[in-house]
Amino acid sequence: MTKKRILMITGDYAEDYEIMVPFQALQMIGHVVHVVSPDREEGEQIITAIHDFENDDTYTEKRGHNFTLNETFDNIDVTDYDALILPGGRAPEYLRLKDEVIDMVRHFSDENKPIAAMCHGLQILISADVIGGKKCTGFPSLEDDIGNAGGKWIDIDRDDAIVDENLVTAQAWSGQPEWLAKFLEVLGTKIEV
């Protein structure tokens, strides 16, 4: 297997599972995953959030873990990375307003490198204007936003994921097994069991 270098851009109150699960799983199989947040340095921490579906009109939110960043945002050279991950939660609401983040996302899109986004992570792709013509999904409340950005909303089961060329998307953390499996396929990672 060829070791890949993967960049994850996130921040405070991103969904805990959408950071921790891919971070640990991708390292377990030998990939390098650097997790960064604007205006933060390696060793600093972000606060995550745990969102759950408890039969309310929307998801609930509880404080998650402190996650230690393992690279400094300002040191990132996107040309050194093979793929990008954008977790959901509330972090994308403000990350999408940062020009440096948008520029990074556009690099991955322009170079047709694999991009995996989940839940509200699609907000960053919408702001970067990189989903035009692509089939994708995200948290259901983003259906109109995805359509308005020129993407083609696909309504899939919460436990599923969808691929369109280099883009892998899912609606929520419950879709991570499929999302990660499809992301690994797009990365060209083969796991033999």
Q: pLDDT category, 63, cuts 50, 70, 90?
A: confident
The number of beta carbons lying within 10 Å of the beta carbon of residue 25 is 16
Give mean pLDDT, residues 73-102.
97
Residue 125 lies in a domain: yes
Rounded (10°) CA dihedral 150, 156, 158, 163: -70
Of the pLDDT bands very low, low, confident and very high (cuts 50, 70, 90), residue 26 is: very high
**Mean pLDDT, all residues of the chain:** 95
Is residue 67 a part of any domain in this protein?
A: yes
Q: CATH no. for residue 161?
A: 3.40.50.880
Residue 193 lies in a domain: no
Residues composing the chain: 193
pLDDT digits (tens, 9 = 90+) for 8-22: 999 999 999 999 999
pLDDT of residue 80: 98
This prediction's pTM: 0.95
Structural domain count, the chain: 1
pLDDT tens string 134-192? 999 999 999 999 999 999 999 999 999 999 999 999 999 999 999 999 999 999 998 87
193 pLDDT band, cuts 50/70/90, is: confident
Instruction: Say what the pLDDT of residue 176 is.
Output: 95
HSE-CB at 97 with a 13 A cutoff on CA atoms is 5
The confidence score (pLDDT) of residue 96 equals 98
pLDDT of 2 above 80: yes
Range of the domain at 39: 5-187
Interatomic CA distance for residues 35 and 42, integer angstroms: 9
Residue 56 has pLDDT above 90, yes or no: no
Is the confidence at residue 61, as pLDDT, over 90? no
For the annotated catalytic residues, the residue numbers are 119-120
Q: What pLDDT score was predicted for residue 132?
A: 97
Higher pLDDT, 104 or 54: 104
Helix (H) or strand (E) holding 183: helix 176-187
